[in-house]
Amino acid sequence: MSKNKKRIKIEINGIVQGVGFRPFIHALAHKYKITGFVSNTSQGVVIEAEGMQKALDDFLSYINHKPPSLVVLTQITNQSIPLQHDKTFTIRASALPSKTATLISPDISICNDCLQELFDPNNRRYLYPFINCTNCGPRYTIIDNIPYDRPYTSMRHFAMCITCQSEYDDPHNRRFHAQPNCCHDCGPQVTLYSRDRAELAIRNDAVDNTIRLLQTGHIVAIKGLGGFHLVVDAANEVAVKNLRLRKKREEKPLAVMVRDLESAKSICALTQEEESILSTPQCPIFLADKRQEDPLAPSIAPGCDQFGVMLPYTPLHHLLFQGACSALVMTSGNISEEPICTGNEEAFEQLVDIADFYLVHNRDIYLRNDDSIVMRLAGDSRLIRRARGYAPTPLFIQNRGPAVLGVGALLKNTICLLKDDKAYLSQHIGDLENLAAYGFFQKTIAHLKRIFAVEPDLIVHDLHPGYLSTRWAQDQKDIPLLGVQHHHAHLAACLAENRVSGPVIGLMMDGTGYGSDSTIWGGEILIGDFQTFERCGSFEPMPLPGGDAAIREPWRTALAYLYETFGYNLPHLPFLADHDINPILEMLSKDINSPKTSSCGRLFDAVAAMSGGKQVIRYEAQAAIEFMQTAGEVDGEPFSFEIIEQNSFFQLPIRPIVRSVVEALLAGQSPTIISQRFHRTLIDILTTAALHARARSGLRTVALSGGVFQNRLLFKGLLHSLAKDGFTVLTHSLVPTNDGCISLGQAMIGRYTMNG
């Protein structure tokens, strides 16, 4: 019989560690009467399988076509090797780290099996806040190195008890080789502290007391999976206002976690597709339309027609909903504009003026990871913030080549590491505007380089000389650098995600980006690919009096656009009476601190402000967001616009639009009608611009990228309009359309530059 046996060595790359893959292989080998072994390596998983040819064929086919749900297979190779005549199939200890190539699983929400055990009084893990198995629980945030084994995670500090160890060693157990495996007796524990660090309760008592504190209106800082949340009862208006006051977060919407899907449906109007997004193992914050009446505090999302809602994704979250609260505000545990806290001591120090109490635990978070944000738009799920549940799952790209590091933009920073045919996009890092964020940025780069064993052959940065990411790149020694224009990076990111090499027409619409001519761009029509681009058109540059001050105070932008259009003969619009306009007019007339920009985002701000919308914003794009909501739909005649050809360049003038808007306002048209007509204008003018670019280039594919395309009305309307005119349209869904995609585009341009 042994003459008919064969032995093969199978090497598998992908997300195969920490997702129950070895137990799956062990059970499968038993099913097909195969002997040998499986082991984690720094490259993925290696299997030596010995058995009859038919059994080996079926074994391989099953692995390829029916792997566990969390497994992502990217490469499987096999070769014949000599027989070893094993008697059993075993799981061997993992090989020591060498040149790393395997993929790391994101953090995964609690599975249904663990959830049932959590609330089963007869289960030994009843009410244990850290219950997990091979199918769920922490991954990326507790990994310091790979292979993904306990000694390389923050669970190395917790020795398993005899019972947990027996589960871990039993190939037939759901917790077989589950690295975070633990229980009440041997695992992490929660502790409740007062603001002055007095220990108040531990274990289950700590959870019960926290529930009571939330019900009585207190703010509790709670340590989660990727960092701290600041938590209050979402139905308690006084508590929510208190949280806003202490955190200095006046109006930006707060995320809400609800007990279950039924609770989500009570506050949001959800389609079946949207319910499915909420219920995925990633458990993102999902932007969902508010119901007309809901029981939540009005201060959660003032002036906004959507809630950012998510379901519980850790055992501790589910335990917190044993009380009367069916919805909890769960906002990032940080001082405004700084990264979320991850360490207990860090939280005690930084959140002391915000939190009344602290519910902490003693399992370290190695890498902070904020909640991801998703919206459903034009038939697809689209990531607005890519973090927990998604990072560091790679994007698969079309080419191979040198290792390249893209270090991203100033706002919504991410970093991207290219290795082979994979783009490892980091979790959302945030705005690089302070030392804490810069430290997080540096730590993330070091962590990704370590766990994927990559030293980049090229570092790619933004052209803006003042960005901290640019300065970091320029401080690196002995590594070649490449500066890439912001909107070219947007274009390249869209091409990479869609696995298209170009060239294409690019409509790149955002707030600001440093242009290759050292001016501020933001409303660009490009023709390009990964290697080169041509700026064939843009919105007319207009001044920003005070620079960044005009971004924070859209009335300044509105005044500037009016001045550029009418001079000192300003129309009598009501908003002007609320401001001291003379100093701004003097700045404009003397061209003092009034840089010009072609930004589409600033055009939105200007029209919103002159229509009576937000004059001063409290969070990014607030004026444009509320202006969009005012419209409700795209309707009415567009405002006047034109396109001016200038040799090889065409311009989209702002002045005709402003004149037409002013005429409508003076005629008494409501802000709703103005917004509807303005959105129609943008759809029509951008479609016309794409047609001009097509006539010039012959290209029929358009890529859309930039934060402006988070505008639901503009995005859907433009998709329809472009398709109607025969364009193929490329958009973002796997990575954010905002500046969160910039590092991907940078890295791709760098790769193509090096490949020649």
- Any idea what the CATH number is for the domain that residue 33 is in? 3.30.70.100
Q: Which of 312, 336, 361 is the last residue of a domain?
A: 361
What CATH number is given to the structural domain containing 228?
A: 3.90.870.40
Q: What is the pLDDT of residue 96?
A: 52
Question: How far, in Å, CA of 646 to CA of 652, rounded?
Answer: 11
| Whether residue 744 sits in one domain with residue 721 | no
For the chain, first and last CA: distance in Å? 56
User: Which one, of 88, 16, 103, 18, lies nearest residue 51 by Cα?
Assistant: 88
- Provide the CA 18 distance to its chain's centre, in angstroms: 22
The pLDDT confidence band at residue 3, using thresholds 50, 70 and 90, is low
- Give the pLDDT mean for 746-756: 94
Q: What percent of the chain has pLDDT over 70?
A: 98
Judged against a pLDDT cut of 90, whether residue 95 lies above it is answered with no
Cis upstream peptide for 392 (omega within 30°): yes
- Tell me: do 658 and 675 sit in the same domain: yes
Task: Tell me: do 320 and 420 sit in the same domain.
Answer: no
Is residue 108 within 8 Å of 389, Cβ to Cβ? yes
Q: How many domains does the chain have?
A: 4
* pLDDT of res. 275: 96
For residue 688, give the H/E element and its range.
helix 671-697
The predicted-structure confidence for 634-668, as pLDDT tens digits, reads as follows 989 999 999 998 888 999 999 999 999 999 999 99
User: Which of 146-155, 377-386, 738-747 bottoms out in mean pLDDT, i.e. has the lowest?
Assistant: 146-155
Range in 19-23, 77-81, 631-635 the model is least confident about: 19-23
Q: Is residue 163 part of a domain?
A: no
Model confidence pLDDT, tens digit, residues 693-707: 999 999 999 999 999
Higher pLDDT, 237 or 15: 237
Distance CA(713)–CA(683), nearest Å, equals 9
Residue 100 lies in a domain: no
For residue 1, pLDDT over 60 is answered with no
> Rounded to an integer, what distance in angstroms lies between the CA atom of residue 26 and that of residue 555?
66
652 lies in the same domain as 556: yes
Per-residue pLDDT of 680-695, as tens digits, reads 999 999 999 999 999 9
750 and 687, same structural domain? no
User: Which pLDDT belongs to residue 73?
Assistant: 84
Tally of residues, the chain: 756
Residue 398, domain CATH: 3.30.420.360
Reply yes or no: is the peptide bond before residue 503 cis, omega within 30 of 0: yes
Measure the CA–CA gap between 295 and 21, rounded to whole angstroms.
44
In a domain, 175, yes or no: no
CA 603/CA 318 separation, integer angstroms: 45
- Has residue 99 got a pLDDT over 70? no
Contact by Cβ (8 Å): 743, 407: yes
The answer as to whether 617 is a domain residue is yes
Same structural domain for residues 613 and 702? yes
Mean pLDDT of 105-133: 96
Q: Which two tokens stand for residue 10?
A: 């199978």
Q: Is 509 helix (H, G, I), strand (E, B) or coil?
A: strand
Task: Compute φ and ψ for 231, nearest 5 degrees.
Answer: -125, 135
**Residue 159 structure tokens:** 């020795």
- Per DSSP, 579 falls in state S
Compare 392 and 149 and report the one with higher pLDDT: 392
Confidence of residue 89 (pLDDT cuts 50, 70, 90): very high
Cis peptide bond prior to 545, omega within 30° of 0: no
Domain closes at, from 339, 361, 383: 361
Domain final position from 326, 361, 396: 361
In a shared domain, residues 344 and 436: no
Query: Within this chain, do residues 627 and 484 fall inside the same structural domain, yes or no?
Result: no
pLDDT at 706: 98
275 and 412, same domain (yes or no): no
pLDDT band, very low/low/confident/very high, at 102 (cuts 50, 70, 90): low
Mean pLDDT for 696-724 is 97
> Is the domain of 262 the same as that of 215?
yes
Tokens of 83: 């027989």
User: Is there a domain that residue 180 lies in?
Assistant: no
Burial class (CB in 10 A: 0-12, 13-18, 19+), 724: exposed
Residue 71 CB contacts under 8 Å (≥ 6 apart), including other chains: 14, 15, 16, 19, 20, 21, 24
The reported pLDDT for the residue numbered 271 is 94
Give the whole-angstrom CA distance, residue 753 versus residue 756: 5
For 254-295, what is each residue's pLDDT tens digit?
A: 999 999 999 999 999 999 999 999 999 999 999 999 998 889
Mean pLDDT along residues 49-57: 93
pLDDT in tens, 363-391: 999 999 999 999 999 999 999 999 999 99
In whole angstroms, what is the distance from residue 182 CA to residue 277 CA? 30
Task: Report yes or no: 645 and 545 within 8 Å, Cβ to Cβ.
Answer: no
The pLDDT score that the predictor gives to residue 492 is: 98
Q: In which band, very low, low, confident or very high, does the pLDDT at 72 lie, cut at 50, 70 and 90?
A: confident
Q: The domain that contains 716 carries what CATH number? A: 3.30.420.40
Residue 164 included in any domain? no
Is the per-residue pLDDT at 412 higher than 90?
yes
Q: 97 pLDDT exceeds 70?
A: no
* pLDDT tens track for 544-594: 999 999 999 999 999 999 999 999 999 999 999 999 999 999 999 999 999
Cβ of 54: how many Cβ atoms within 10 Å?
A: 10
Mean pLDDT score across all residues of the chain: 93
Residue 67 resides in a domain:
yes
Domain that holds residue 15: 2-91
Q: Is 480 within a domain?
A: yes
Bigger pLDDT: 336 vs 50: 50
Residues 318 and 403 in one domain: no
The confidence score (pLDDT) of residue 265 equals 95
pLDDT band for 608, please (50, 70, 90 cuts). Answer: very high
Question: Residue 2 has what pLDDT?
Answer: 58
Provide the strand spans (E) within 494-625.
504-514, 520-528, 533-539, 542-543, 596-597
Same domain, residue pair 677 and 642: yes
Q: pLDDT tier at 147 (50, 70, 90 boundaries)?
A: confident
pLDDT at 616 over 90: yes
The average pLDDT across 28-37 equals 93
**Mean pLDDT across the stretch 37-48?**
86
Q: Are the C-beta atoms of residues 15 and 62 closer than 8 Å to each other?
A: no
Does residue 520 contact residue 595 with C-beta atoms inside 8 Å?
A: yes
DSSP result, 37-85? EEEEETTEEEEEEEEEHHHHHHHHHHHHHS--TT-EEEEEEEEEE----
| Gap between the Cα atoms of 76 and 138, Å rounded | 26
Residues 170/176/179/180 CA torsion (nearest 10 deg): -100
Contact 64, 78 (CB under 8 A): no
* pLDDT (mean) for 477-487: 96
- pLDDT band for position 337 (cuts 50, 70, 90): confident
